[in-house]
Structure 1
Amino acid sequence: MIVCGICSGTDRNVIHNHPYHNVHYPVILGHEGIGRVIACGAKVKHFKVGDVVTRVVNRLPPDSGYELKWGAMAERALAVDWQAMKDDGYPESEWHKHTIHRVLPVGFDPIAATMFITWRETYSYFHGMKPRTGDTVLIIGTGANALSFTDHARNAGLSAIVIGSPKREQIFKGAGAQVFIPHVATDYSAALKGAGVNGVDIIIDTIGTSDSMNRVFPLLHMGGALGVYGLNGFDDYALSLTKGPARFRYYSGENSYDEGAAHDDVLRLVTEGKLDPWRYLSKDHIYLCEDINKALQASWNGDVMKSVIIF
């Protein structure tokens, strides 16, 4: 392992045993890992020693006594040569899930590469919502996922509106948010209308609390789309249907969410300078593994969008 990003949402929910994850402790965290190949199996064709690979995970014997929540926060991990599996005639159902394991260009910064996981996940989700030319996208939240959706909206030529923490307003405006409403506003609809926003085409809730969604649902245009990307209120998320349009699309991510398929587009956007990892990361928040508690607290306290653990 080289490095693993801290996901303030997923890692926090695993640590606190959010019902969605149903954790059995002890558990090994880490789903934003970047590793360097040090050995290859006999059937590997498309990886070689020295390659840097995204989204590496782990495996343990059944009797290890540990549960894995991806498990990249370890000294070593695994990547699967899905292309070799495909070449050898394995059914897609067996190799497709491993398309998240992709070799990065030579010389690509592994710390910056931790952002690929968040970007690929959100890019796939965003485009699965089928945004149209001219759409206005309303994003609830100001974490790394929300900033990613703001980037994706801007890169698609769409208008992005954000509701979130006032201390991150300038970051989001720098990323292209055309309107920013502080989450402390008592009436989101009135604040948005006061800013000239009379309706939106897509709403993405990156936090997962229905209160915020219900406060902006009346602004969704007829036939618009909404998605709940966050998990905070997973057990009791309740949409007040009478507050919104009679016809809308709910996007769950099923059937079209495909992180691996987003890799080439994300790599292109990074290469073109349209996705900047250092808008999310900070060289002041790169931690050794033994300082993981500091890394977690920095992320949870909002000191940085994403902390990073190096090995």
Structure 2
Amino acid sequence: MTEKYMRGVAAVGGGGVELVRDVPVPEIGPYEALVRMKSCGFCNGTDFHIIRGEMSVEVDTFPTLLGHEGIGDIVELGSKVRNYKIGDRFMNPMIKLMPGTRYGCTWGAMCDYGIVQDQKAMVDDGEDLSLLNPRQLECVQIPSDFDVIDGGCLITLNECFSAARNFDVEDKDVLVYGAGPMGLATMKYMRHLGARTIVAIDGVEERLALARSLSGADETINYTEVDKKEVLKGRIFDRVIDIVGQTSILLEGSQLLKPYGIIGAMGVLRNTDAMVDVTKLKNNTRLQMLNFPYGQYDITAENIRLIEKGVIHPKDFYSHVMSVEDIQEAVRLVAEKEAVKVILDLAN
């Protein structure tokens, strides 16, 4: 059999990222289905931390294939797959590295192909349970008519929805640090879940305007124009959420909490800034860690219903759709905050 190759986006070390074309296309087993990827969101937090070697958890060594916000359609079925069909659409298909590849994998959804595993068929057929890929739990089937570009933002929206719910914001006064795509969407879901007031802090005025218009922020604070400590002097909140990913914000934000209040760590921390001196947190407050989302897959169906009802508009939370061929420019736009979020089009 002649080996076939596909494109992928690889972090190559030294802060570099490249579009590569020598990733072997997965060869599917009898219980696997091949998925043609359609789009993948570029994560402003995790993907950048991986590229820069700053992730606070271990990732594969460079070069490593990026992407954890992908969506794609089944184009080929293994001989024993019977619970999926051609054309089924999935969020977050898995990458399958073939023997001899030179790449590691840090989720890998920015490749042209991924796979899903028919685990129900495997269990029904009495296959060895050790053969079940645990990552299949993250592969969620979605409606086949769900917009493929919006799909590149779906896992982001799921993460924000689950975080807003986990932080328990109903009838609470909330202060949010960060109005990037995660901050904007989290504030939108907080409003949907009944937050009493929302105050947003950021240094980019255009993003603060979006916080007001899209996410219903009651007040915005541009820390490049005003002294945020002076503006917030004497005020306290039920919840203070760091979506930037800095331990200094966790310490600062805890001082603004009511008794029993929660400082929420949602932004991904860097490996150079991952230690929190809990003795400096405000007394009688709580630290809730959500650097890595919890419940983001289970919430998919509910989130899609909100989208179908027009409560949530995915296009509000990304600003650019770009070919994967233009990954260098996409990275630049995000790095310089000229893009809120970029969706990579993998269909062409």
State TM-score, norm by structure 1.
0.87
1:170 is aligned to: 209
How far, CA to CA, are the matches of 1:46 and 1:107 in structure 2?
19
How far, CA to CA, are the matches of 2:231 and 2:131 in structure 1?
47
Indicate whether 1:123 and 2:161 are aligned.
Answer: yes
Alpha-carbon deviations, 1:251-279, whole Å to 9, x = none?
22499812211111211111121211111
How far, CA to CA, are the matches of 1:200 and 1:44 in structure 2?
52
How far, CA to CA, are the matches of 1:97 and 1:133 in structure 2?
32
In structure 2, list runs of 5 or more residues that go unmatched.
Answer: 1-36
Q: Is the 8 A contact 1:226 1:249 kept in 2?
A: yes
Indicate whether 1:277 and 2:317 are aligned.
Answer: no
Letter in 2 for 1:168: R
Given the alignment, which residue of 105, 110, 123 partners 2:143? Answer: 105
1:32 is aligned to: 69
Indicate whether 1:53 and 2:93 are aligned.
Answer: no
Q: Percent identity?
A: 27
Q: Is the 8 A contact 1:208 1:237 kept in 2?
A: no
How far, CA to CA, are the matches of 1:308 and 1:181 in structure 2?
28
Alpha-carbon deviations, 1:110-160, whole Å to 9, x = none?
00111111111222233223x153112211112111112101101101022
Shift of 1:23: 4.1
1:267 is aligned to: 304
Indicate whether 1:2 and 2:38 are aligned.
Answer: yes
In structure 1, list runs of 5 or more residues that go unmatched.
Answer: none
Letter in 2 for 1:118: T
Poorly superposed stretches of 4+, deviation over 4 Å: 82-97, 237-244
Shift of 1:108: 1.7
Aligned residue pairs total 305
Shift of 1:43: 4.0
Query: Residues 243-254 of structure 1: matches in 2 within 5 Å?
Result: 244-253=281-290
Given the alignment, which residue of 258, 261, 265 partners 2:295? Answer: 258
State TM-score, norm by structure 2.
0.78
Q: Is the 8 A contact 1:188 1:216 kept in 2?
A: no
Q: Is the 8 A contact 1:189 1:216 kept in 2?
A: no
Relative to structure 2, which stretch is displaced further, 83-92 or 175-184? 83-92
Residue 254 to residue 242, structure 1, CA distance change in 2 (3 Å): closer
Q: Is the 8 A contact 1:3 1:114 kept in 2?
A: yes
Residue 85 to residue 151, structure 1, CA distance change in 2 (3 Å): farther
Given the alignment, which residue of 213, 223, 235 partners 1:183? Answer: 223
Residue 22 to residue 72, structure 1, CA distance change in 2 (3 Å): closer
Shift of 1:46: 3.3
Give the secondary-structure state (helix, strand or coil) at the position aligned to 2:75: coil
Give the secondary-structure state (helix, strand or coil) at the position aligned to 2:244: coil
| Higher-helix-fraction structure | 1
Q: Is the 8 A contact 1:166 1:183 kept in 2?
A: no
Residue 243 to residue 259, structure 1, CA distance change in 2 (3 Å): same
| Higher-strand-fraction structure | 2
Q: Is the 8 A contact 1:192 1:198 kept in 2?
A: yes
Residue 253 to residue 231, structure 1, CA distance change in 2 (3 Å): closer
Q: Is the 8 A contact 2:153 2:343 kept in 1?
A: no
Give the secondary-structure state (helix, strand or coil) at the position aligned to 1:70: coil
Q: Highest CA radius of gyration, 1 or 2?
A: 2
Shift of 1:210: 2.4
Shift of 1:190: 2.6
Letter in 1 for 2:84: F
Indicate whether 1:307 and 2:342 are aligned.
Answer: yes
Shift of 1:37: 0.5
1:17 is aligned to: 53
Residue 167 to residue 53, structure 1, CA distance change in 2 (3 Å): same
How far, CA to CA, are the matches of 2:290 and 2:120 in structure 1?
25
Q: CA RMSD in A?
A: 2.8
Q: Is the 8 A contact 1:100 1:259 kept in 2?
A: no
Shift of 1:57: 2.3
